[in-house]
């Protein structure tokens, strides 16, 4: 709990149009995020209304040794906004202005609290495209996307958030305002500090404005669904498509358990006896789309898949509903959902899926797997109940083994959800001691009192 005198100082800073929460029931709303982490109450929550207020809040926290946790929409899946030792939660949702969309130079400048889907819609109305599309895009913020390097369904062809960051302005704990990058395609003045902010998980600065690259909107697209009797052939088709030199805009995977769960929840007509399915969308110019579509049809026939094409917008929406509903359908089954994002080189997906199945059996757990197969980014989703201690012990062991399998197959602990607290204990195993030492030095040098989002990534 903060001394009254400190609360008074916060109130003084944000008295013009800002908001402050200090009551327990209000604080409780900011004690958790989308990861199944034990909630911790912050001491205070502030929603500043201008950058001057951010600057003063960050300095006050630094002077008074108060942890500062920057929070966008709180949808991260790694415990990144849980205030582990209390402190001040700073909400960025008031900074929701799109400051510029430049059609000549193909960039947008946005405030960090802009909702991802709002930017996507705004640029699409001008014939432009901002591809990163996390499943949470209707609520997640651009600041949160940058801090987690969010991916999404289009990562395979279009890359992830980091591929669109051109510049970022941010505040540091001692009050410095850093301007990095800019609006030009080429820019090599000084360190690539905007790159440093990508995946920084709120630990290196509070971002205010972000300049993002835009591209022309693809002319046309075609969606299809390929059903397979067995899961491994579905996984093998992912590599076969890439080997045929086709890079679909999206290439998603649902296993039999997830198909059944979606069908039970939404009745969209998915065949529940399919071992797995792939959802594919190709986009670009008409001729290219048709050529790629024919090649995929050919591959699917050769591999024994059953291909269904969307011939109308309604059919397209139905196909994609299967993917959009995957997480929420699984979430209906048990009180606690742990969504992992172990990622492997895509040619190793069949082996990774075999290992996930073996781990599920070994620990007698309920795990549905879906994900961005084209990126090798799988989401084994563990359905459990945090109150069941013996099951949670088995869950822990299963997660350990899933991560071990990903690393053995030359993959990574996290393709897009970040480290936060969820994967902190595994980080060194992937990156090595030298990297941890370097990260600590970087953090200590820019935030000597460890004010910004402490205890995340184990730092
Ligand atoms: C249903 C669902 C689907 C999802 N699908 C995907 C997906 O497909 N792909 C994917 O990558 N992720 C996905 N996610 C995870 C999540 O939405 C992303 O990590 C997203 O980028 C988080 O954005 P946010 O605004 O909610 O950030 P928050 O959760 O509020 O914060 C995330 C991190 O960013 C930091 N941060 C936020 N704003 C700033 C700022 N202005 N300056 C400095 N640091 C800041 C925070 O301190 C924290 O460490 C999904 C989550 C859900 C619940």
Give the pLDDT confidence of 255-280 residue by residue, as tens digits. Answer: 999 999 999 999 989 999 999 999 99
Give the pLDDT confidence of 383-396 residue by residue, as tens digits. Answer: 999 999 999 999 99
CB 352 within 8 A of CB 377: no
Give the pLDDT confidence of 332-342 residue by residue, as tens digits. Answer: 999 999 999 98
pLDDT at 36: 86
Paired sense of beta strands 44-47 and 377-384, if any: unpaired
Whole-number Å distance between alpha carbons of 416 and 77 = 9
Residue minimizing CA distance to atom 45 of ligand 1: 202
Q: Which of 148, 172, 209, 446 to mutate to test the pocket of ligand 1 (most atoms within 8 A of CB)?
A: 148
pTM more than 0.75: yes
Q: What percent of the chain has pLDDT over 70?
A: 100
Give the pLDDT confidence of 101-131 residue by residue, as tens digits. Answer: 999 999 999 999 999 999 999 999 999 999 9
CB 205 within 8 A of CB 51: no
Ligand 1 atom with minimal separation from the 113 CA = 41
Per-residue confidence band for 321, with pLDDT thresholds at 50, 70 and 90:
confident
CB 375 within 8 A of CB 316: no
Give yes or no for residue 452 having a pLDDT over 90. yes
Average pLDDT of the chain to the nearest whole number: 96
Give the pLDDT confidence of 2-21 residue by residue, as tens digits. Answer: 888 999 999 999 999 999 99
Ligand 1 atom with minimal separation from the 81 CA = 48
Per-residue confidence band for 150, with pLDDT thresholds at 50, 70 and 90:
very high
Give the pLDDT confidence of 172-225 residue by residue, as tens digits. Answer: 998 899 999 999 999 999 999 999 999 999 999 999 999 999 999 999 999 999
CB 198 within 8 A of CB 150: no
| Cα atoms in the 13 Å half-sphere on the side-chain side of 111 | 15
Q: Is the dihedral of CA 449, 200, 193, 184 positive or negative?
A: negative
Ligand 1 atom with minimal separation from the 207 CA = 42
What residues line ligand 1, using a CB cutoff of 6 Å?
33-34, 69-77, 80-81, 92, 112, 134-136, 140-141, 143-145, 147-148, 150-152, 201-202, 206-207, 327, 416-417, 453
Ligand 1 atom with minimal separation from the 133 CA = 8
Whole-number Å distance between alpha carbons of 413 and 405 = 10
pLDDT at 174: 87
pLDDT at 22: 96
Residue length of the chain: 459
Give the pLDDT confidence of 235-245 residue by residue, as tens digits. Answer: 999 999 999 99
Per-residue confidence band for 438, with pLDDT thresholds at 50, 70 and 90:
very high
CA of 146 from ligand 1 middle (Å) equals: 8
């Amino acid at each position: 709990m903060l001394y009254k005198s400190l609360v008074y100082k916060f109130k003084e800073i944000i008295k013009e149009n800002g908001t402050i929460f200090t009551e327990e029931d209000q604080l409780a709303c900011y004690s958790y995020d989308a990861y199944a982490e034990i909630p911790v109450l912050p001491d205070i929550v502030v929603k500043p209304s201008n950058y001057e207020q951010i600057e003063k809040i960050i300095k006050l926290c630094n002077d008074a040794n108060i942890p500062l946790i920057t929070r966008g929409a709180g949808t991260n899946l790694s415990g990144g906004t849980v205030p582990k030792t209390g402190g001040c939660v700073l909400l960025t949702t008031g900074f929701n202005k799109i400051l510029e969309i430049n059609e000549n130079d193909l960039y947008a400048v946005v405030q960090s609290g802009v909702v991802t889907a709002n930017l996507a819609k705004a640029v699409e109305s001008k014939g432009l495209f901002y591809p990163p599309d996390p499943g949470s895009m209707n609520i997640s913020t651009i600041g949160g996307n940058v801090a987690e390097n969010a991916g999404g369904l289009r990562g395979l062809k279009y890359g992830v958030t980091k591929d669109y960051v051109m510049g970022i302005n941010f505040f540091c704990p001692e009050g410095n305002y850093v301007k990095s990058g800019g609006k030009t395609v080429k820019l090599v003045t000084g360190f690539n500090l905007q790159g440093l902010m990508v995946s920084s998980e709120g630990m290196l600065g509070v971002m205010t404005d972000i300049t993002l690259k835009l591209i022309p909107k693809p002319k046309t697209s075609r969606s299809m669904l390929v059903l397979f009797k067995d899961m491994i052939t579905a996984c093998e088709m992912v590599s076969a498509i890439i080997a045929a030199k086709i890079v679909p805009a999206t290439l998603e995977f649902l296993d039999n358990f997830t198909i059944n769960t979606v069908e039970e929840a939404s009745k969209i007509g998915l065949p529940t006896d399919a071992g797995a399915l792939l959802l594919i969308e190709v986009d670009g110019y008409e001729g290219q789309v048709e050529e790629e579509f024919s090649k995929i049809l050919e591959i699917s026939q050769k591999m024994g898949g059953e291909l269904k094409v969307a011939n109308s917008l309604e059919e397209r929406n139905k196909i994609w509903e299967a993917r959009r509903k995957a997480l929420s359908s699984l979430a209906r089954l048990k009180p606690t959902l742990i969504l992992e994002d172990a990622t492997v080189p895509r040619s190793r997906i069949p082996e990774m899926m075999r290992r996930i199945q073996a781990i599920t059996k070994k620990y007698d757990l309920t795990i549905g797997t879906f994900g961005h197969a084209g990126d090798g980014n799988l989401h084994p989703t563990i359905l459990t109940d945090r109150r069941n201690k013996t099951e949670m012990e088995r869950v822990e062991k299963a997660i350990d083994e899933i991560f071990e399998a990903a690393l053995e197959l030359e993959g990574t602990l996290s393709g897009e959800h970040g480290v936060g607290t969820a994967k902190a204990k595994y980080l060194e195993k992937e990156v090595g001691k030298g990297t941890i030492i370097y990260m600590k030095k970087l953090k200590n040098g820019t935030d000597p009192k460890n004010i910004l989002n402490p205890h995340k990534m184990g730092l």
